[in-house]
């Protein structure tokens, strides 16, 4: 900094790391003039800092000026994006639920859980494709509306599942095999019968999802 640039209003700070200042004995009773009188003359100075407060103020003003306020268009765009994300989440929720049930049905190692999630996943899948149980029992639903139409063994699975859930009798090895191997071929048979456009529209039908959870499952 040139000396010619030093003007009134500029803050100047002198820094010293000299050992002489460590030997100055300052007590609480000393006033400012007494403290200044104890400073060596000339005072050893290691660094001089010149701070142009006017430039700093101007730089701060320019920075604040360059900050653009949040416009209505940005607020609108942000709102539209948030609403779109929420809509996508709601539309994908039926399929996400099915994906969860399906995963549990295929990968549960505990027989009771595998039977339960296979049953729930099958009922949920059929519901989304427009096949509602309504007032039928699960076995009536499987016999009267599902097995003949999709060429599945849903009724056989239902009988074993209900036995494993409510009966005190242990299930046989053959019945255990029915519980374990039921879901994947059942899902394939149902999907082969329903055109892909109907499957997509079925999983986008949020009303059917609400209807499924509003009805008793057994």
Full domain range(s) for residue 190: 93-214
Q: 93-138 pLDDT, tens per residue?
A: 999 999 999 999 999 999 889 999 999 999 999 999 999 998 899 9
Residue 175 lies in a domain: yes
Q: In degrees rounded to 5, what are phi and psi of residue 14?
A: -100, 130
Given 66, 83, 109, the domain boundary residue is 66
Q: Which of 95, 153, 154, 159 is nearest to 129 (CA)?
A: 95
9 sits in the region (left: phi over 0; alpha: psi -120 to 50; else beta) called left
Residue 30 lies in a domain: yes
Length in residues, the chain: 218
Contact present, 42 and 13 (Cβ < 8 Å):
no
Q: Three-state SS for 51? A: strand
* Residue that wins the pLDDT comparison between 185 and 90: 185
Residue 185 lies in a domain: yes
pLDDT for position 14: 67
Q: Is there a single domain that holds both residue 146 and residue 184?
A: yes
Q: Is there a single domain that holds both residue 108 and residue 59?
A: no
pLDDT for position 99: 97
Given 66, 81, 111, the domain boundary residue is 66
The total number of structural domains that make up the chain? 2
- The encoded tokens of residue 157 equal 């699975």
> Is it the case that residue 213 has pLDDT exceeding 70?
yes
């Amino acid at each position: 900094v040139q000396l010619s640039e030093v003007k009134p209003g500029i803050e100047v700070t002198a820094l010293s790391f000299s050992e002489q200042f460590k030997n100055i004995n300052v007590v609480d009773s000393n006033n400012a003039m007494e403290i200044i009188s104890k400073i060596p003359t000339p005072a050893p100075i290691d660094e001089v800092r010149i701070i142009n407060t006017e430039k700093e103020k101007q730089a701060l003003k320019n920075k604040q000026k360059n900050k653009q306020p949040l416009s209505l268009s940005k607020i609108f765009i942000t709102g539209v994006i948030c609403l779109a994300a929420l809509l996508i989440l709601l539309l994908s929720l039926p399929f996400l639920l099915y994906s969860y049930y399906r995963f549990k049905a295929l990968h549960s190692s505990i027989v009771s859980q595998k039977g339960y999630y296979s049953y729930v996943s099958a009922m949920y899948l059929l519901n989304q494709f427009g096949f509602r149980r309504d007032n039928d029992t699960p076995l009536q639903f499987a016999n009267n509306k599902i097995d003949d139409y999709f060429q599945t063994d849903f009724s056989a699975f239902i009988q074993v599942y209900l036995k494993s859930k409510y009966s005190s009798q242990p299930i046989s090895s053959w019945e255990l095999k029915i519980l374990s191997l039921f879901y994947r071929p059942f899902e394939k048979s149902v999907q082969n019968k329903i055109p892909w456009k109907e499957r997509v529209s079925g999983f986008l039908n949020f009303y059917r999802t609400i209807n499924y959870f509003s009805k008793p499952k057994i």
